[in-house]
Amino acid sequence: MKPQRTLIVIFFLLLISLSFGVKLIEFDNPYSGFHQMRQLDNLGSIRDYISEGIDLSKRRTLEGGYLLYELPIYHALSALLSPSQDKILFAARGVNLVFALLSIFLLFQITRVWFDDKTAIYATIFFTFAPINLMYHRAVMIDISTTFFCLLSTWLLIEYFENRKELWKSFLFVIAGGLAITTKALYFFPVGAIAIANYINQYRPPFSANAINYFKKNFGIVISFLLLVVIMLGWVQITQMTNGPGKGLLVFFDDWNFLLSAKYYLLLIFRFFLLILNPFTCFLFIIGMALVWTHYRKKDAIAIPFFIPAYFLLFGNVAFPHEYYSLIMVPYCSIVAGVGAVWLENLLSEDNLIRSRELTLGFFCVFSSVVSVLIFIINFLVGSPNLDQKPAQIEKEMQSVLEDRQKTYVYVNKMNFPLFDYIRYNRSLYLLYALNMRSEEEIRIYGRPIIRHEILYALRQFGWVEMTKGDIPKKIDINGLQLNHQGNIRYVTFYRYTEAQKSLIKERVSGYQTIYESVDWLVYDLNKT
């Protein structure tokens, strides 16, 4: 290997290592990051798997019921690799970091097959430093593993089309595609689009003759897609057996109002510039989209300019409220940005504005990475609730009060928290408060100082959390609660109520024994009268 090439490889690997160093920030804090509700629910399910054993046919939520929307492969792996209850978080986040690393390798391979090594280097760096990946690659969420399964499917598919059409590739494609579909079906959308692009590129009229010839030529992959359809339909039936009848995959298409919302399109622009990509890579992405469209029409990569906008138009009803649904688009957007980066590098070189292509590559990669890290710091460390320690305080105080994994009903006085807690959970409220556009009272009314899942996970309980706005609950009906929850409630707890309010509560819950009382808590055991 040439010394220059060796330096590029070392530089490349060093940057990737640094990205994982960023992803280790707040690694040991279960309450850090975004979408804590989803993350903590997953942690609760993993904890349940360790205690009760792994059962892929159902997943217990923090509310105590069983749901099965996604095959819990990620939860099972995390439970298997966790040596104890105390190591769940490290196992869960470690599993996703491994999936993220494998995704980086696959993205490099996909890009070099479609384009070249330099484009692959750019795409890989843009991907691993994408702000949304810096935030979510260490999150306790299933999306990172599903993205890997989809990238593996993409790589196997293009290897089948571009090189030898070997049977083992079809076999592995079915496995990878089956895992992708059963964990998050809509993430498989790009793979299907690439297959369609391959068919269109090879189309020669008439239709019937072309279809037959294509089937003969690509027998293995066509059969694979048919098998995946069967797997998808079978999975829908399995989920309905656990969850009861529902819309299944049709839930993604039950609301199209977002298409008429200007807010959605403004949000998309914001996410492309500050989450999926950054301002610099977004500029390269625009260039790359034009280049792929004009220069690669006969390549399967031509699917990318179509399926990226199509994804956000077809699945906007879930992508709108949940930014993490954009994760599957990050690798393909990074590929396109890589195409733009190579073009810009060539342009600067041809105009004699640069003398060293290697230095240009290094500058583009470092500059993009620094911009992404700065965006991450603003979003993750300044604009997120991870610095709030209320859940940790709950866990420390209550760990010996309640028996683990019981069903608990928690009343919370949402108005009796420090103001700081409210603005940490809402970046918009944080900005409005900083600009003096919201009063403290408004902040307390519209904000939330803590989320339900944080309380349940910290208490190590299943159950429900009801928030009241300053007053004690209007109706404390223990018998009614038990009736609504099939008599399974063990504890009723009251959190952040004043001493005067706790006195009134004691009068209303006089038939049951108080097992714990502190400044913040009042706890009743319904098994003790």
Give the C-alpha separation, 280 to 287, whole Å: 11
Contact yes or no for 150/328 (Cβ under 8 A): yes
Q: Residue 386's pLDDT is what? A: 45
Distance of CA 59 to the CA centre of its chain: 18
pTM: 0.90
Give the C-alpha separation, 310 to 287, whole Å: 19
Low-confidence residues in the chain, pLDDT < 70:
1-4, 245-254, 351-355, 381-388, 424-427
Backbone φ/ψ region at 501: left (φ over 0), alpha (ψ -120 to 50), beta: alpha
Extract the tokens encoding 402. 């309640």
Extract the tokens encoding 432. 């409005």
- Hunting for tokens 């690393």 — which residue is that? 101
Catalogue the E-assigned strands of 36-160.
59-60, 66-67
Give the C-alpha separation, 47 to 276, whole Å: 31
Contact yes or no for 58/242 (Cβ under 8 A): yes
Q: Residue 126's pLDDT is what? A: 97
Residue type, 152: L
Give the C-alpha separation, 478 to 467, whole Å: 17
Contact yes or no for 495/455 (Cβ under 8 A): yes
Residue type, 62: L
Extract the tokens encoding 359. 């230095």
Q: Which residues pair with 466 in a beta bridge?
A: 411
- Torsion sign (Cα): 51, 52, 54, 60: negative
Give the C-alpha separation, 233 to 240, whole Å: 11
